[in-house]
Structure 1
Amino acid sequence: MSAKNYWLAFGIGVTAGAAIALLYAPQSGARTRKKLMKGMEGAVDDASDYLKDAGDYLKEQAERLSEEAQDAIKRARKQASHFVDKAGDQASDVVDSVSDAVGSAVKSARSLV
């Protein structure tokens, strides 16, 4: 049973119990109202506890998701850095190859002259 259904059933039960108690109450209205108020205070306390627990749970989940997001960002940065390093190495190799080719072409051209 989900928490929503639980609290819905709880609320219906409290309402039905209060209605039955009012119908069969052997005491005065003032005394019955006092008892009802005490019962409602307990329900409010229960609801307050539930909301506090739900808030704590949501806070924990937000912290966990924040940590996971930070880890994902770190991994992405490492991968990007690795990619940039590889690209730089490749570019350096191409520049060296082109430089060697130009140097060979210059030497060949000088030897022809």
Structure 2
Amino acid sequence: MSSNKLYFVGGLFLGTIIGGTLGVLLAPSSGDETRKKLIEGTEGALGNAYDQAVEYGENLKEQFQDMQEQFTERVNEYKNQIESKIQEIQDEVEQDIADLSEELEALEKEEAESSEEAEVAAKEE
């Protein structure tokens, strides 16, 4: 719940108490009747405040659970993206190693052939 809503709920609660108290005090009735009305009004206002606090707590709990689920989903998404990127890099490195191994074998073969040709040429001379 945003702070504006909190201010609204707090203002509504305070306004209810003040309005009820003023209404009872300004109404033409005896002291006993006024006290009874004040007690009933206070109990009603406190009951409403309690109900609102419980509802607010339940809303906060739901919002927290929603945020927790969203956070878990995002963490799992990022985890999957990272794992897939790691696998991609690993595949590229393995391919590069295979390519380099092939090039090294080709160079070694060329060197061996050149050495053999040099030996044959040296023997012919």
In structure 2, C-alpha distance between the alignment counterparts of 1:69 and 1:92, rounded to whole Å? 34
Equivalent in 12, 22, 25 of residue 22 of structure 1: 25
- Which 5+ residue runs of structure 1 have no aligned equivalent? none
In structure 2, C-alpha distance between the alignment counterparts of 1:6 and 1:78, rounded to whole Å? 43
Aligned to 2:47: 45
Please report how far the alpha carbon of residue 38 of structure 1 lies from its aligned counterpart in structure 2 after TM superposition: 1.4
- Which 5+ residue runs of structure 2 have no aligned equivalent? 116-125
**For each residue in 1:65-112, what CA deviation from the matched residue of structure 2 results, as whole angstroms up to 9, or x when unmatched?**
111111111111111111111101100110011101110110011111
Letter in 1 for 2:106: S
Aligned to 1:103: 105
In structure 2, C-alpha distance between the alignment counterparts of 1:105 and 1:69, rounded to whole Å? 53
Q: Residues 71 and 100 from structure 1, CA distance in 2 versus in 1: closer, same or farther, beyond 3 angstroms? A: same
In structure 1, C-alpha distance between the alignment counterparts of 2:70 and 2:5, rounded to whole Å? 27
| Residues 62-71 or 7-16, more deviating | 7-16
In structure 1, C-alpha distance between the alignment counterparts of 2:57 and 2:12, rounded to whole Å? 22
The number of residue pairs the alignment matches comes to: 112
Alignment of 1:11 with 2:14, yes or no, is yes
In structure 2, C-alpha distance between the alignment counterparts of 1:85 and 1:61, rounded to whole Å? 36
Q: Residues 87 and 49 from structure 1, CA distance in 2 versus in 1: closer, same or farther, beyond 3 angstroms? A: same
Aligned to 1:71: 73
RMSD after superposition: 2.1
Calculate the TM-score normalised by the size of structure 2: 0.78
Calculate the TM-score normalised by the size of structure 1: 0.85
The answer (yes or no) to whether the contact 2:21–2:38 under 8 Å persists in 1 is yes
Structure with max Cα Rg: 2
Bigger relative contact order, structure 1 or 2 (CA pairs below 8 A, ≥6 apart): 2
Please report how far the alpha carbon of residue 62 of structure 1 lies from its aligned counterpart in structure 2 after TM superposition: 0.5
Letter in 2 for 1:86: E
